[in-house]
Amino acid sequence: MKTIAKSRINEALAILAKESKLLVPMKVNGISKYAPWGSEGTIQFEEVNTLLPPKDTLFPHTEKMYSYKIANQEITELNIHDDSAPQILFGVRPCDMQSIKCMDDVFLTKSYVDDFYKNKREKLITICIGCTKTAPTCFCDSMGVDPSRHEAADVQMYDLGDSYGIEAQTEAGQTVVNKLQELMEDQAGDPTAVSCTLKVDASGIPAKLSTMFEHPIWKEISRKCIGCGTCTYLCPTCYCFDMETTNNGNEGYRFRCWDSCMFSEYSRMAGGHNPRPSKNERIRNRFLHKLEFFNERYGKNLCVGCGRCIAKCPVNVDITLFIDKLKEVAADEPV
């Protein structure tokens, strides 16, 4: 297998950063996230995963869509905003790669393609590094994700202790690997298999959930939720967005920004009617969307088992505890 010594990884990064914007997992200002290589902060290849998911490289928290100029009744200018540039996402973990695959299904299929996402996605090269250790909150192998590799990544790298095994999986990945040719040696070495300590039995959940819309389990699970957006904004697969306008005199722009189904005014309609008035309906909607609705529509779970929501929920609402409780409870008998 082709390998690059860990000591020479900075040279590899320098080469990659020449033509395109290179994003690496870093701790910037106390927060671990994907930041441009070279920005002040400490690079973190040894950490299990970042706190902020790579979601905002393809689906930014706030994204300008189009700007316009108005002259009383006329629309004098309307131009679409496109700031997509070639990017390389280095050091993505398999669970986040799976989340990118879920986002591709949402934004690129089902009769409409979202151009803002597509432009960025086409110019992105993903370099996935398999995990060699897991955090207590990781449960990706229970959700059908292999912690050591992911087939959708352009380049797959394995942590072999003092060097990284590297293999291209797409021709975009091959161009990247060719650029790093002179840093590579041939070395035998096989990736160490790793498995999560937190195990969950996620089989048969969509079928069971489809009969449990009125089940009392929702009230019991959602009672301690405080209705904030932490879980949805840290989740790599949450893709709900809102669109708003900002005006400044006779010009302005329309932007889209992340939104959370946990917020009270998320589904409030013009007349004041709200189909999900209390946190009970909202938690039900979020868990059903993650474990059943997305499955019905796209054929895969929307939860990739990264554990960020478990780690950071202020009151420890835990989707794995919910799945465990789901197993014990029969479809209709109360909790």
Site for another protein in 78-97 (CB under 8 A): 78, 80
Which one of 123-131, 158-166, 187-195, 222-230 is the stretch in contact with another protein (CB under 8 A)?
Answer: 222-230
Residue 40 · residue 28 · CB < 8 Å:
yes
Site for another protein contains 197 (CB under 8 A): no
Q: Which of 170, 229, 300, 325 binds another protein (CB under 8 A)?
A: 229
331 binds another protein (CB under 8 A): no
Cross-sheet strand order for the sheet of 251-258: 74-80, 62-71, 251-258, 241-248
Of 84 and 170, CB closest to another protein: 84
Are 183 and 156 contacting, i.e. CB atoms less than 8 angstroms apart? no
In the complex, minimum distance from the CB of residue 172 to another protein, in angstroms, rounded to a whole number? 24
By CB under 8 A, name the one of 93, 101, 121, 276 that touches another protein. 276
User: How far is Cα 172 from Cα 92, in angstroms, rounded to an integer?
Assistant: 16
Q: Alpha carbon of 89 to those of 98, 230, 324: distances in Å?
A: 14, 24, 34
Q: How far apart are CA 141 and CA 160, in angstroms?
A: 20
Total residues binding another protein (CB under 8 A) = 92
Q: How far is CA 329 from CA 258, 311, 322, 334, in A?
A: 34, 25, 10, 8
**Contacts of residue 239, Cβ cutoff 8 Å, sequence gap at least 6:** 55, 59, 103, 106, 107
Among 275, 328, 330, 334, binds another protein (CB under 8 A): 275
| Residues 5-44 contacting another protein, CB under 8 A | 29-31
Q: How far is the CB of 228 from another protein (least distance, A)?
A: 4
Q: Is 195 in the site for another protein (CB under 8 A)?
A: no
With binding defined as CB under 8 A, does residue 269 bind another protein? yes
- Cβ proximity to another protein: between 120 and 256 the closer is 256
State which H helix or E strand residue 164 sits in: strand 163-168
Q: Which CA distances in Å does 232 have to 41, 86, 194, 261? A: 26, 27, 27, 8
Nearer to another protein, 40 or 182 (CB): 40
Residue 312 binds another protein, judged by CB under 8 A: yes
- 195 versus 267: smaller Cβ distance to another protein: 267
73 binds another protein (CB under 8 A): yes
Q: Which of 10, 86, 213, 327 binds another protein (CB under 8 A)?
A: 213
Say which amino acid occupies 14.
A
| Of positions 7, 42, 111, 178, contacts another protein by CB under 8 A | 111
Nearest Cα residue to 194 out of 267, 134, 266: 134
Q: Which residues contact 130 (CB under 8 A, 6 or more apart)?
A: 94, 147, 148, 149, 156, 157, 158, 159, 191
Q: How far is the CB of 164 from another protein (least distance, A)?
A: 29
Residue type, 131: C
Query: Is residue 1 a contact residue for another protein (CB under 8 A)?
Result: no
Q: Which of 18, 181, 188, 271 binds another protein (CB under 8 A)?
A: 271
Window of 63-71, 87-95, 126-134, 150-158 that interacts with another protein by CB under 8 A: 63-71
> Where do we find the tokens 């679409």?
80
- Which is closer to another protein, CB of 5 or CB of 66? 66
Is residue 257 within the footprint of another protein (CB under 8 A)?
yes
- If binding is defined by CB under 8 A, does position 240 make contact with another protein? yes
Rounded Cα–Cα distance for residues 201 and 326 (Å): 10
